[in-house]
Structure 1
Amino acid sequence: MNVTLIFLAAIIAIILWWLAGQRLTSKPWLETGSVHLPAHDGADRPPVPAVKVGLFVFLGVVGALFSLAVSAYFMRMASADWWGMPVPRLLWVNTAALILSSAALEWAKGEARHGRMDRLRPALAMAMALAVFFLVGQIQAWRELVAAGYVLADNPANSFFYMLTGMHGLHILGGLAVLAYTTVKAFASEASTDRLSLRVDLSAVYSHFMLAVWLLLFALFAGWANDFVDLCRTLLS
């Protein structure tokens, strides 16, 4: 339960920090003048798109879902029928692919902001290819574990591994569908630069969040998170 509260507090803190940066907590009915949100340097800033606010709300819900699953994982670990399972070496390669995919989207975000379509297209294609590689690698890791005898119903550790990686993979697949649509629009000659830049920005935010979730899960499966949880419990007790 403590792990859930810590994770939820971190998610809420990130959302509040972002909202404060966008000045969505300001009171427009008490302000006069331009309806544009002023930037910190005094220049006018365009209003934040509603779809971006919606994405952050959605990510907050997804973060709560994963936090509950991770909390259940830690509680189930204390049972006598829990046997740990090895972490396939392929997961290291998959993790590197997801990191590079997120970095490619960050690169694409900068190119889209400056309207450099000739550099944006390969950046998006690279990000999409690496995300596909990650999903294929996750499926291959499943196959290796099953071939080694670590089946779903063997023990709770196996069940949690397949459930958490499967749930994460489904979210990656959903983000990949949006990224594929954005990539197709980038290669279209009539693509709108402003709308395309917003799509790339949203895809990058989603990718960075799912990368953070995967790094947490990877640390969990590798056993690195146990010491951190013990420290949190000590501080909260």
Structure 2
Amino acid sequence: MASIVATLSIGHNGPVTSAPIAHSPVGGINRPNTVQVGTIVWLGSEVMFFAGLFAIYFTLKSTSPALWEDQSSKLNIYFSAAITIVLVASSFTAQFGVFAAERLQKWRTGPWWNLKRWGVVEWFFLSFAMGAIFIIGQVYEYALLVSEGVGLSSDAYGSAFYMTTGFHGLHVTGGLLAFLIVIGRFFAVKRFTHKEAVTAIVVSYYWHFVDVVWVGLFVVIYVFPRIGV
């Protein structure tokens, strides 16, 4: 999470694209943007981190199948599905913010209900709000599970559940902080340039990543026990 925040202050010298390699008008290829490439490489290391968490979860599950069956029945899959939809939807709103950034549009240029005229600030504010709803929902779910005796140190299931979902929640919180930082930066600058646009793109990479990871966690932790996997 610290890495994504650190990249927000790095400049940009090339054209703005959603991919790290940009084609020049004459058909040549410019140098890859170091900020975007660095972010992708760092996210690769985060993939390995979450792969380790998945491995721990499945290992503990294989040693205590009866415990997993009993404790997973206490999960509210419908509530979790609702906040999952909110989080996944925030990935789309963040991407709409990227589209606005690519056309160097900081603010909306029409009435608030005309989404086609929104700028990156409005889309990122909406993405932040949806991510915050997810975190609030996750904290609420934690409170319910603790009241039912499922705690971090209660048993192997509790440890695996809170470790996997908790680390993901910290990453989402890091993404929320990144949204606030870039929004504040956009407010501060007088002229929205390629440099600010690349910052928006980098944040979207991170946000898409945490959303994809959560979909995997939701399937493994909530859906698989319901279908007997």
TM range (shorter): 0.7 to 0.9
Aligned counterpart for 1:60 among listed residues 35, 44, 47: 44
Partner of 1:90: 79
Residue 103 of structure 2 corresponds to residue 114 of structure 1: yes
Q: TM-score of the superposition, structure 1-length normalised?
A: 0.74
Residue 207 of structure 2 corresponds to residue 207 of structure 1: yes
Could you give the per-residue CA deviations for residues 14-53 of structure 1, whole angstroms, max 9, x where no partner exists? Answer: xxxxxxx756xxxxxxxxxxxxx646x8634543221211
The change in CA–CA distance for 1:155 and 1:116 in structure 2 (over 3 A counts) is same
Letter in 2 for 1:71: A
Q: Which structure has more RCO (C-alpha within 8 Å, separation ≥ 6)?
A: 2
Partner of 2:32: 48
The change in CA–CA distance for 1:225 and 1:183 in structure 2 (over 3 A counts) is farther
Aligned residues of 2:20 and 2:37 also touching (Cα < 8 A): no
Letter in 1 for 2:91: S
Greater Cα shift, 156-165 or 43-52: 43-52
Aligned counterpart for 1:104 among listed residues 93, 100, 113: 93
Partner of 2:5: none
Partner of 2:10: none
Letter in 2 for 1:130: M
Letter in 1 for 2:126: M
Partner of 1:146: 146
Partner of 2:63: 79
Moved over 4 A (4+): none
The alpha-carbon deviation at position 157 of structure 1 amounts to 1.4
For 1:111 and 1:22, the matched residues in 2 are separated by 18
The change in CA–CA distance for 1:158 and 1:54 in structure 2 (over 3 A counts) is same
CA RMSD of aligned residues (A): 2.4
The alpha-carbon deviation at position 69 of structure 1 amounts to 1.3
For 2:30 and 2:106, the matched residues in 1 are separated by 23
Give the % identical residues.
24
Aligned residues of 1:105 and 1:204 also touching (Cα < 8 A): yes
Partner of 1:130: 130
For 1:226 and 1:173, the matched residues in 2 are separated by 28
The change in CA–CA distance for 1:79 and 1:226 in structure 2 (over 3 A counts) is farther
Aligned residues of 1:124 and 1:183 also touching (Cα < 8 A): yes
Aligned residues of 1:83 and 1:155 also touching (Cα < 8 A): no
For 1:56 and 1:142, the matched residues in 2 are separated by 31
Partner of 2:187: 187
The change in CA–CA distance for 1:197 and 1:54 in structure 2 (over 3 A counts) is same
For 2:188 and 2:201, the matched residues in 1 are separated by 18
Q: Secondary structure at the match of 2:149?
A: coil
The alpha-carbon deviation at position 154 of structure 1 amounts to 2.3
Q: Secondary structure at the match of 1:117?
A: coil
For 2:217 and 2:148, the matched residues in 1 are separated by 21
Aligned residues of 1:175 and 1:203 also touching (Cα < 8 A): yes
The alpha-carbon deviation at position 212 of structure 1 amounts to 0.7
